Amino acid sequence: MRWVALASLVLALAPDALAVKSQDFKTCSQSGFCRRGRALSTRAAEAKANKTTWVSPYSIDSSSLSISPSDASFTAAVKSSLYPDIKFGLELRVHEDGVVRVRMNEVDGLRKRYDEAASWALIREPEISKDITWKAGKKDVKAKYGENEVVVAFEPLKVTLLRNGKEQIVLNGEGLLHMEHFRAKEEPKKVEEGEEVVTDSEGQQEVMQQEPTVNPRAWFEGETEDDYWDEKFNSWTDTKPKGPESLSLDIDFPNHAHVYGIPQHATRLALPTTSGPEATYTDPFRLHNADVFEYLADSTMSLYGSIPLMHAHSADSTVAVFNAIGSETWIDISHPVKDKSTLSHWISESGILDVFLLPGPTPSDIFAQYARLTGTTALPAHWSLGYHQCRWNYVSSEDVRAVQKRFDEEDIPVDVFWLDIEYAEEHKYFIWDKKTFPDPVEMTEDVAASGRKMVVIIDPHLKRTSSYPVYQEASEKEFLVKNKDGGEYEGWCWSGSSSWVDCFNPAVADWWVEKFKLEKLDGRYSWVESTKDVHIWNDMNEPAIFNGPEISMHKDSIHYGGWEHRDVHNINGMLFHNLTSLAVLRRTSPPQRPFVLTRSFYAGSQRFGAMWTGDNLGTWDHMAVGIKMVLANSIAGMTFAGSDVGGFFGNPEPEMLVRWYQVGIFSPFFRAHAHIDTKRREPYLLDEPYKSIVKDILRLRYKLLPVWYTAFRETSVTGKPVVRPHYVEFPKDVKGFDLDDQFFVGSSGLLVKPVTDKGATEASVYLPAEDQVYYDYFSHVAYPSTSSGKQIAVPAALDQIPFFIRGDSIILTRERPRRSSPLMAKDPFTLTVALGKTGQAKGELYLDDGTSYAHESGDWVWREFVATTEGKKKKAVVKIESKDLGKTRGSEAVDPTKVTSPSKELSTETYDSKNAFAKSIEGVRVEKLVVLGLGSKPSSVKAAVSGEGDKELVWEWKEGVAASDKKMKDGSAASELIIKDPKVTITKDWVISVQL
């Protein structure tokens, strides 16, 4: 009841927590610029249907073409036949890696269009190629490099990226490009002497026109000025002081039938159609960060984050477009030629045209190209990959201690306890409510004593009161967003009357960093009642404003530099996340890796921490779509992602909760969370057998932490996602292009299909199109796939997870149960060698201290494990080797952009295998080795360690089918060689020889 007393006023304005209130959010038909863009598309389609010529009004003035003599760029003037007096400028660049950047802006306009979106997303200005040259002809200008060619047609303006002569991406091929220029508002015409005046039905006077004025631009723009100068939605009016400034662009993929990306939406991974015959949805996909309570599990509605990146895929190639725009954007998708092509139509409220064409041609190439633009996921703290326990709210210090005690009593692992908004006095973030949290530092130290951490919420809205020093400082320094009249913007959120930090102001960064300092500052507030074991949760940063239009900020609000909120809305949340991550990193010296969770995000947010999919429901549909959403975020760079286990709203039945934990352990970010009105559902509260099942599920996550951390190292360097949909790993397997309910974990070879159906006892799993064997992770029974792919039925009772090891893989796990992941740092490893059809296997392990940045100076261990089969079947020798990857690929271990010592650039030459971290774990051993799929029982097993002699090992043998058996039947038990204590360590080179 205390919470109700504190927040009753706020709740009166908060979204209804019973169901999504669709009426609070616009559809395309309620958005003036989206209506105009869609109407443009309709007119073009009607013209084609009527066999009427439709030609884009935009063309290049070939006489203005200026090709750079020093790099692969050119500029040109663009003219519009609609407005001959309006000037536009075009620039194309080809980057060193083949990415093409296309920029178009209004020149010498009445106002400046927002052109800074890319600068927030990019890690640096990309290098333009000095080897590629543009060649101008009479009708176009071209650049050819490798298999790729870019052709820019002059009239009408069209940009085409080709590979081996085949169209990959086409801009303005349908003639829908339209950049609404800035203009002066025409005032109503005054009545001149002698003109006839009439009165309409509402009593308004009008001048009688003798003849109707013909609008020569109506064929393209329509007859009326549709919401050019103001727009009403529910009770709000957007004043639109700059008038119309929207941008329409068609992006065609003529030879790609599948498109993915543009998160965040609750829908399938392969994006369904929104226009054309038999469209799945009636509204376009919307990118407009929004606080949507209990969102629909199948919708194009905008949610909390926006990444304007789209992959297009076929069996021949993968390409992508990154449209660097920060304003509200709607995207229509259709398939002009079914199963062959895709047309997308992007309609944005403001900004310039700034599009990056990523040529691929493989998914891995796309991830690398996008990572070079926007950066990779930061290598997270190791503990942050463990289990996070959260609810709104743990109500006191003693409540936190009691929850931790119960986890320990039940021997259930957990790494992090979370505090929602009720820790803060009157929801003044940073300020502890001493009635319920009288000893926050001591409470945190009690949690940290078991190697655990706390995460505490800090939202961007500041309570407007003189008793809140953070607000007072921000107000005095003018660090707050302003309203359209120049005063402090005021809205309502959890704190009541609030103002919002303007993170676009460069001076805010240092000030925000100060707030997180653990020591007292002279005359300035700092969070001294915190510790280095407290990390941060940024919520409500879309921004969410309970009494604002669409539960957000008025679009005519003003940010630093004079930009309207409409220009930067989708970027806003990323900047708050960025500054908070920076603040946590800088609060100690030397710095520790920060963990900061965000709800709102944009392209580039992956550099700053994790995200979750927001306020989901405890339903089977939401459990299932959460997997698809995490995959969509992952391929768009935001791979440290997860959905709230159990659903934020509702009280899931035990069966659902068990299945949701099975989903959660295979999410990169793994947190259970619940609404304040739900029943408590910590895993120790479950009845048997559910409690024991969930405990085993959680322990499986902890056993697999070496796999997860190794996968995160890879994504931090290459950009390849931690969880990968089928098309990423098998880009030529057409049957897998629509798969989004099963996926792979990194490059490990682990394949999982979580069960999301009530009452299921069996699951259907698709095995990729390859001649390979897949082993059940738990039972080690084998399933052979085929070159055309294969569907298998596997047991999936409540305590079973369809989980497989691909042949050719070696998996490293830590099998000893612990209370938290830091307590596992010196635990031994188990190797599972899953032999493939040819008797080969390989895997990797990456380790560092998991918390500091010492790895950027070379303090890490990166090992490769390889199994090979030599000789004929009956006398074959299987060798399993441990190799130091630092000696051969040392420069690839860490993202070179994150190396802290430029003078000591990491390489195979500078790598030290006896670095400080390697020395600290030199005693960590391999305690068990399991080999699956051997052809016959060994005659001997020996280990040879570098610098030591051979050792005969003790082993056990279980008869079963060999990986190479061409007559293998589904579900056959694989042979198992079990070597206990092979007497080898994890940091040394060694070879184990298995003589058959």
Give phi and psi for 747, each to the nearest 5: -100, 15
- Between 907 and 253, name the one with better pLDDT: 253
CB 335 within 8 A of CB 320: no
Using pLDDT thresholds of 50, 70 and 90, give the confidence band for residue 344.
Answer: very high
At a CB cut-off of 8 Å and minimum separation 6, what does 337 contact? none
Question: H/E element holding 846?
Answer: strand 841-847
> 779 Cβ partners below 8 Å, 6+ apart?
973
Mean pLDDT to the nearest integer, 799-811 = 98
| The Cα angle at residue 629 between residues 168 and 668, in degrees rounded to 5 | 110
* 782: nearest Cα among 808, 805, 813, 766: 805
Mean pLDDT computed over 624-638: 98
CA dist 457 to 274, 427, 634, Å?
A: 37, 10, 24
**pLDDT for 587:** 96
Express each pLDDT in 478-529 by its tens digit: 999 999 999 999 999 999 999 999 999 999 999 999 999 999 999 999 999 9
Domain ranges of the chain: 44-182+234-374, 828-995
| Structure-token match 């259930």, residue found | 412
Q: Which residues are catalytic?
A: 539, 542, 615
pLDDT tens for each residue of 693-721: 999 999 999 999 999 999 999 999 999 99
Confidence of residue 905 (pLDDT cuts 50, 70, 90): low
- How far out from the chain centre does Cα 557 lie? 28
Q: Return mean pLDDT, the chain.
A: 94
Asked if 899 contacts 905 with a C-beta cutoff of 8 angstroms, the reply is yes
pLDDT of residue 949: 80
* Calpha distance 380→378 (Å, rounded): 6
pLDDT over 70 percentage in the chain = 94
**pLDDT on residue 874:** 72
| b/e 689-718 (16+ beta carbons within 10 angstroms → b) | ebbebbbebbbbbbbbbbbbbbbbbbbbbb
Distance from the Cα of residue 610 to its chain's centroid: 8
How confident is the model over 542-556, as a mean pLDDT? 98
pLDDT score for 917: 98
Residue 204 has pLDDT above 70, yes or no: no
Tell me the average pLDDT across 835-849: 98
Whole-number pLDDT of residue 20: 84
Mean pLDDT of 361-372: 98
Q: Name the band, by pLDDT with cuts 50, 70 and 90, for residue 15.
A: very low
Whether the pLDDT of residue 205 is over 80: the answer is no
pLDDT band, very low/low/confident/very high, at 873 (cuts 50, 70, 90)? confident
Bond preceding residue 164 cis, omega within 30 of 0: no
Q: Which alpha helices (DSSP H) does 429-528 contain, by range?
A: 440-448, 469-476, 508-515
Domain 828-995 is in which class? mainly beta
Residue 8's pLDDT is 38
Q: What is the pLDDT of residue 887?
A: 94
Q: Is the pLDDT confidence value at 669 over 90? A: yes
> Looking at residues 814-821, what average pLDDT do you find?
97
Residue 902 has pLDDT above 60, yes or no: no
Say yes or no to pLDDT of 818 above 50: yes
Dihedral in degrees, nearest 10, Cα atoms 898, 901, 902, 908: -80
Q: Is the peptide bond before 543 cis (omega within 30 degrees of 0)?
A: yes
Q: What is the DSSP string of 523-569?
A: TB----S--TTEEEEE-STTT--TTSGGGS--TT-B-GGG-BHHHHH
Q: What was the pLDDT predicted at 197?
A: 56
pLDDT exceeds 50 at position 899? no
CA distance linking residue 706 with residue 986, whole number of Å: 12
* pLDDT, tens digit, 9 for 90 and up, residues 874-889: 789 999 999 999 999 9
Q: Which two tokens stand for residue 228?
A: 């050019």
**Rounded distance, CA 843 to CA 786, Å?**
23
Contact 492, 546 (CB under 8 A): yes
pLDDT greater at residue 529 or residue 895: 529
CATH code: domain 44-182+234-374 is 2.60.40.1760
What percentage of residues in the chain have a pLDDT greater than 90?
Answer: 92
| Neighbouring C-alpha atoms within 13 Å toward the C-beta of 915 | 22
Helix (H) or strand (E) holding 889: helix 886-889
pLDDT in tens, 416-463: 999 999 999 999 999 999 999 999 999 999 999 999 999 999 999 999
Q: How far apart are CA 643 and CA 612, in angstroms?
A: 5
pLDDT for 208 beyond 80 = no
Structure letter (DSSP) for residue 893: S
Task: Give the residue-averaged pLDDT of 891-898.
Answer: 82
The values of phi and psi at residue 62, to 5°, are -60, -25
Spell out the long-range contacts of 68-76 with Cβ–Cβ below 8 A and sequence spacing 24 or more: 70/130, 71/128, 71/129, 71/130, 72/128, 72/129, 72/130, 72/131, 72/132, 72/133, 72/134, 72/143, 73/128, 73/134, 74/134, 74/141, 76/141
